[in-house]
Structure formats: C-alpha cells, structure tokens
Amino acid sequence: MAEKFGGDPVKAASRQPAFFDDPAIDRLMHMFVALAEEVAVVSERLDTHEHLLSEKGLVSLEEFQSYEPSPSEEQERLANHKSFIARLLNIIQQEIDKTR
C-alpha cells in the first residue's frame, strides 16, 4: 500500500505524496491535477477577457463564439498545442529517459 501522510516532515517534503500502490498511477494523477489547475485558471481568465470586452462594447460574446481563425492562426495554435502536450507529458518523457 502507498505510504500514508505523516512521519518525518522534512523527508516527506522532499518527494511527492503517494496515493496509489503503483507509482505510475501517482505520476498520472499528478499530471491530471496539474492539467486541471491550468485549465481552471485559463478558463477563468478567458471568461474575464470575454466579459470585459463585451461590457466595453468592443467584441460581443456572440463574436467570440462564431470566430474562425485564419490559416496562420491555426498554425500558431497547432504549435502551441504541441508545446503544451510536450510540457504535459514531460514527466513520462523523464521516466523514459531514465531507462535509456
């Protein structure tokens, strides 16, 4: 079974907490929580931007919903997505690199 919280606080602070018997599942859970935190923050900031622009009469909420990016914007978004996925999967890549 995974180690329970408690014990030496200095030793515990030097590693991530374990919730599952399989360390791979713990790593996936840490990735999931990190991703969920990022999505929550980005969603709130995006919502704030959309409402501020709409309240100022600069862009309506409907314009945000119907916007279609240009081909160059699509390419930029694709590059951003690839970078994001690489950061997200970094912990798995580190594990792969350790085994080489």
Whole-number pLDDT of residue 3: 47
The total number of structural domains that make up the chain: 2
Q: How many alpha carbons lie under 13 Å from residue 24 in its C-beta half-sphere? A: 4
**pTM (2 d.p.):** 0.56
Res 79: pLDDT: 97
51 and 90 inside one domain: no
**54 and 34 assigned to the same domain:** yes
10-residue block means of pLDDT along the chain (100 residues)? 51 65 85 90 95 95 94 97 87 83
Residue-range definition of the domain harbouring residue 97: 68-100
Tell me: do 42 and 5 sit in the same domain: yes
Q: Are 41 and 24 in contact (CB under 8 A)?
A: no
pLDDT of residue 96: 84
> What pLDDT score was predicted for residue 12?
52
| Alpha carbon distance 77, 83 (integer Å) | 10
CA atoms of 43 and 60, how far apart (whole Å): 18
Residues 56 and 74 in one domain: no
